[in-house]
Structure 1
Amino acid sequence: MFAGKAPFQEFTSLLNPHSRRIVAGIALSAIGRGMTLSLLMVYLHDIRGFSIAFGGAVMAWGALFGIICTPPLGSLVDHIGPKKVMLAGLVISGFSALAFAFVTTQAHALIAITLFAFGGQCVWPSQMVILTRVTPLKDRTKIFGFNFMLMNLGLGIGGFISALIIREDSILSYQIMYFIDSLTYFVFIFFIWGLNTPHAGKYVAKEHEPEKGSYRELFAIKELSILTIAGIILLTFGYGPLQSGLPIYATQYLDLAPNWLGIIFGVNTFAIVAFQPLVLKLIANYSKYTALISVGVIWAFSWLAVGISPYLSMFMAGIALCVSQLIFAFGEMVHAPTSPALTQELAPEHIRGRASALTSLQWGISGIAGPAVAGLMIGANLEQLWVLTMAIGVLAPIPLFAYLKRSTNKAKK
């Protein structure tokens, strides 16, 4: 296997005591997310008796609230330091998981998802800032990639554990799942509490640097603004519809059994865990902008594999979707280490929290726009046009990445 002992050790050797705490905690909390996140709609509808429409509204509100609170939380990271914000976020995330376990009314569900969204938006930019600061510039792409691999491994393990725990019509089995999810966040707190490094505190400006920053200063960095716009487009047509549109496409349009979904997304997770070290070695030979251009091309081929599935037998249609997720995984393995590393390179240290929040905002916007487009087009029986739109959409930001690459090359001359 490509992810053998030697490559794995190559990436773990880059970890220091501080970054080791971060990636271990992220992997641990991913186990909890892998257990609960994909089953939230099922839990709210089948166990708690809420309508599917309300379950969808709960998830949409969580995504929207995450977008609303991301900018001020990014500023807070710069103002008081990432460690304090992250500790608060982990406490809130832990209690939000407990809140889900005891949801009985619609108001309870909305409170739980609001806590979850707020806690998550505290944790994400904070952990990215700390991980960036404690990792040398030359190693950041590898560390971000290694972190992504461990996170997917955690999600896969969480999904497997949930399959063992969950029992049909058993409230207790779901509550146990949320208890474990909560526990992973509280354990993560101890990892971060023990971070004894100035990199986890508020950045102290040097003599030639401004003490305060703003989003206006961040958006004045032309390259970063263009990268953000391109990232939103890429994720909206790539990641955005994956967890919402593809399951509906598979089960309702192709009439595949729901069991296929576990296999399809399992292929994606396995590929990331197995091949991330190899992909990191390959992209080290190219510029980050070239790597991002390749993501659009790879994801376009992934959607084309989805597009041919209706013309195959039912079994082969399922295989085609598995192939699509295998291809998609390679794009993920290029995007995950490259995009955040590039964002952190372009951002000055005193507004790094805001820059990390900007990255989080890309995911939030695409997390609403992607499912919305999927719902409208698939609901209107335009399944194949939806797939074609996704395939074209992931190619749309390529000119922006190419422009940034040319600008960077000119600046170096």
Structure 2
Amino acid sequence: MTRAKGAAMRRIQAGNALSAFGLGFTVPYLYVYVAQVRELGATTAGVVLAVFAMAALAVLPFTGRVVDRRGPLPVLVGAALLASAGAAGLGLATDVPAAVGSATLLGAGTAVMQPALATMIVWCSDATTRTRAFATQFFLQNLGLGIGGLIGGHLVDESRPSSFTLLFGIEAVMFLVLAGMALTIRLPRPGAPAGARPTAPGGGGLRALLGHRAMVQLLVLGFVLFFACYGQFESGLAAYGTEAAGIAPATLGTALAANTAVIVAAQFLVLRFVERRSRTKVIASVGLIWAVAWLAAGYAGLGHGGQAMATAAFISTYALFGLGESMLSPTVAPLVADLAPASMVGQYNSAFALVKQLALAVGPAVGGPMGATLHGPYIVTFVLFSLGITALALRLGRRLAPEQDRPWLATSSRVVAVHVPGGEVRPGAPEATRSPASAGSR
């Protein structure tokens, strides 16, 4: 990595931490703020949370093409300004239209930031540094969310609406700082070797993406990953813990803290373990770890070991999820980048962000009712989903080129794979026809 790229990367990562800090400051308290502090009712609070998620689904299909055409930097600045306006509006909202409109702006802005930041990381990294760059991004995201939530929890007071206005105001300022920091970044423009194709087969677009079979398989895998983990954290698994295992609401906070603590403590230790191993085999092992996590949750709710054992098993479930998450961060996001043609990095990142958002929307809708009432079937279902992650990852590994599954090989070989129509990979192409893996990083 050149000195210029290193300087740009440091500012990108700092901006990533700022955006996570801002979200951690307010999102955990959004329901309470709308329903109780502003006295708009539970129904309105539910609508605000739904709009926050739906706004992301509405904008992400269009984000990638704009990123690829205009570059990620102006997109990030625009998204940060949009999110800042939404946060400030929520802090001042006293009626339903204002709350819903502000949540729409905040949801859309924060959603667009994801593929923009990911594309910037791709532009400032290469095959040898990308794994560590995305691991660092995930680490800083969790650290920012955790610190933001901790500080926010000490500032809010349900009897004083002004304390929430302060919270949202600080969040709005964080996004403005992110926009200002982004404007100082000198982002290197990705190049390509002489003779390389600047676009994907067929000129790019949705048809080219859907014709890339390895990417489609990764999108399916991504949906299952997020559905079986993040989509259950604060819905199905929380409902299951309180209803089946008798977990106190305060213990849910402890379990989430254990999840974050494992990620923060283990991320770079795990990175050393996974850096020179097959990406898909690492993802497959995450499926096995999460299957054990769901079995621990099953013991917490369906076993007969007493309340102390149930509580310990339930907290262990979240901790095991955190271990799996720390193994995914240096594998999945870099793989998306390495599969993308140089002209479609933004679209590939946006497609993956969209799949994640869909999983986060569907997960609570399915898992919430199951976790609250169908305790045994709920655990069995998600043990099977976790084992499905293992099967899907191993299947994906058979479609990837060696340098895509084991990126360190790219540093010892000038021969890489080419993405051809139909989504197959053809090893042995010369440097002049470098594929997604290297073209996207320049």
Task: Assess same fold via TM > 0.5.
Answer: yes
Q: CA deviation at 1:349?
A: 1.0
1:52 aligns to 2:42 (yes or no): yes
Q: CA deviation at 1:199?
A: 3.0
In the other structure, the counterpart of 2:410 is none
In the other structure, the counterpart of 2:419 is none
In the other structure, the counterpart of 2:291 is 300
Give the counterpart letter for 1:260 in structure 2: T
Q: Size of the alignment, in residue pairs?
A: 399
Contact 1:234–1:396 (Cα < 8 Å) also in 2: no
In the other structure, the counterpart of 1:403 is 395
1:93 aligns to 2:93 (yes or no): no
In the other structure, the counterpart of 1:64 is 54
Distance, in Å, in 1 between the alignment partners of 2:194 and 2:172 is 40
Contact 2:284–2:390 (Cα < 8 Å) also in 1: yes
1:152 aligns to 2:142 (yes or no): yes
Does 166-175 or 269-278 show the bigger shift?
A: 166-175
Distance, in Å, in 2 between the alignment partners of 1:58 and 1:163 is 20
Q: CA offsets, 1:300-356, max 9 Å, x none? A: 111111111022322322221111111111110011221110010010010110001
Contact 2:23–2:148 (Cα < 8 Å) also in 1: yes
SS at match of 2:139: helix
Q: CA deviation at 1:208?
A: 4.2
Distance, in Å, in 2 between the alignment partners of 1:407 and 1:29 is 35
In the other structure, the counterpart of 2:12 is 22
Distance, in Å, in 2 between the alignment partners of 1:105 and 1:300 is 44
Runs of 4+ with deviation above 4 angstroms: 203-208, 409-413
SS at match of 1:408: coil
Q: CA deviation at 1:23?
A: 0.7
Does 54-63 or 296-305 show the bigger shift?
A: 54-63
Identity of aligned residues (%): 29
Give the counterpart letter for 1:384 in structure 2: G
Contact 1:41–1:55 (Cα < 8 Å) also in 2: yes
In the other structure, the counterpart of 1:324 is 317
Distance, in Å, in 2 between the alignment partners of 1:99 and 1:140 is 37
Q: What is the RMSD of the two structures over their aligned residues, measured on CA atoms?
A: 2.3
1:215 aligns to 2:203 (yes or no): no
Q: CA deviation at 1:68?
A: 2.2
Judged with a 3 Å threshold, the aligned counterparts in structure 2 of structure 1 residues 209 and 409 are, in CA distance, closer, same or farther, namely: closer
Give the counterpart letter for 1:358 in structure 2: A
Judged with a 3 Å threshold, the aligned counterparts in structure 2 of structure 1 residues 397 and 87 are, in CA distance, closer, same or farther, namely: same
Q: CA offsets, 1:54-80, max 9 Å, x none? A: 322322232223112111111111111
Contact 2:232–2:238 (Cα < 8 Å) also in 1: no
From 281, 295, 307, the counterpart of 1:290: 281
In the other structure, the counterpart of 1:112 is 102
TM-score, length-scaled by structure 1:
0.91
In the other structure, the counterpart of 1:3 is none
Contact 1:14–1:139 (Cα < 8 Å) also in 2: no
TM-score, length-scaled by structure 2:
0.85
In the other structure, the counterpart of 1:172 is 162
Q: CA deviation at 1:204?
A: 8.9
1:375 aligns to 2:371 (yes or no): no
Structure 1: gaps spanning 5 or more residues:
1-10
Q: CA deviation at 1:273?
A: 0.8
From 264, 274, 279, the counterpart of 2:270: 279
Q: CA offsets, 1:131-175, max 9 Å, x none? A: 111012211111111111111111111111012101232211111
Distance, in Å, in 1 between the alignment partners of 2:31 and 2:5 is 37
In the other structure, the counterpart of 1:5 is none
Distance, in Å, in 1 between the alignment partners of 2:234 and 2:119 is 27
Judged with a 3 Å threshold, the aligned counterparts in structure 2 of structure 1 residues 93 and 205 are, in CA distance, closer, same or farther, namely: farther
Give the counterpart letter for 2:237 in structure 1: L
Q: CA deviation at 1:398?
A: 2.6
Contact 1:293–1:402 (Cα < 8 Å) also in 2: yes
Q: CA deviation at 1:188?
A: 0.8
Contact 2:286–2:327 (Cα < 8 Å) also in 1: yes
Contact 2:5–2:124 (Cα < 8 Å) also in 1: no
Contact 1:18–1:195 (Cα < 8 Å) also in 2: yes
Give the counterpart letter for 1:365 in structure 2: L
